[in-house]
Copies of this chain bind each other. A is one copy, B any other.
Amino acid sequence: MGSAGLWQWQGTALEFRMSRLDFWFDFASTYSYPSAMRIVPLARDAGVTIRFRPFLLGPIFKAQGWDNSPFNVYEAKGRYMWRDLERLCADLSLPFRKPDPFPQHSLLAARTALAALEQDFGDDFCRAVFHAEFTEGKRIDDPAVIADVIRGLKREAKPLLDRAQSDEIKRRLRAQTEEAAKLRIFGAPTFVTTGGELFWGNDRLEQALAWAKRN
């Protein structure tokens, strides 16, 4: 359950609970892009609260024996993924451009996202990073690109970038990635309900929301 509280209605205390779903993603992950763009309005319709949980797939892939994206390791699978994503984005009327290089190095974006999520524009920041990467073809490991993204949201870049490089945020991103591994997350996006039910992949977003709402 995400938020809980009491309402008064005609003198009666009404308890309300919003179901919660954790949205685990890596900014380098291709299928995380359509999920990040879709999740907020879908969750609003479903009455589910979303927590954006950026993490790093790198250490998780490394534990599976990959030093690179599996889409680069397995050529036929990678070739298919790009075509599939292109079709998927066309169906969703989402602009799409293949990042170059792929995968992007997502450490800076993930740290900055954690800093933005401490404030009130975390979700907007995450969407804007995905947009810069998958629509404008920008390199999200470039601090100038991330600074532009922040300023595009009418915020000051320097304080947020400084906070992103603080020991506290670095530690929290490591902890978040360790938590993902403990939850047995093996790819992104992954949606996790408060009951610990995992749903992997953009294809499972609607099912995850329905599950979160029901349980």
Contacts and interface: CB of A to CB of B under 8 A. Distances in A.
Interface of A: 64, 74, 76-77, 79-80, 83-84, 87, 184-187, 198-201, 203-204, 207
A203 B203 contact: yes
A162 to B, nearest CB: 36
A84 B184 contact: no
A201 B84 CA distance: 11
Copies of this protein, total: 2
A84 B186 contact: no
A200 B64 contact: no
Given A64-B76, A83-B198, 11 more contacts: A64-B74, A74-B186, A76-B185, A77-B186, A80-B198, A80-B200, A84-B200, A84-B204, A87-B207, A201-B203, A203-B203
Nearest to A78: B186
Contacts of A87: 207
Contacts of A84: 199-200, 204
A187 B80 CA distance: 11
Given A84-B200, A200-B84, A203-B203, A184 B74 contact: no
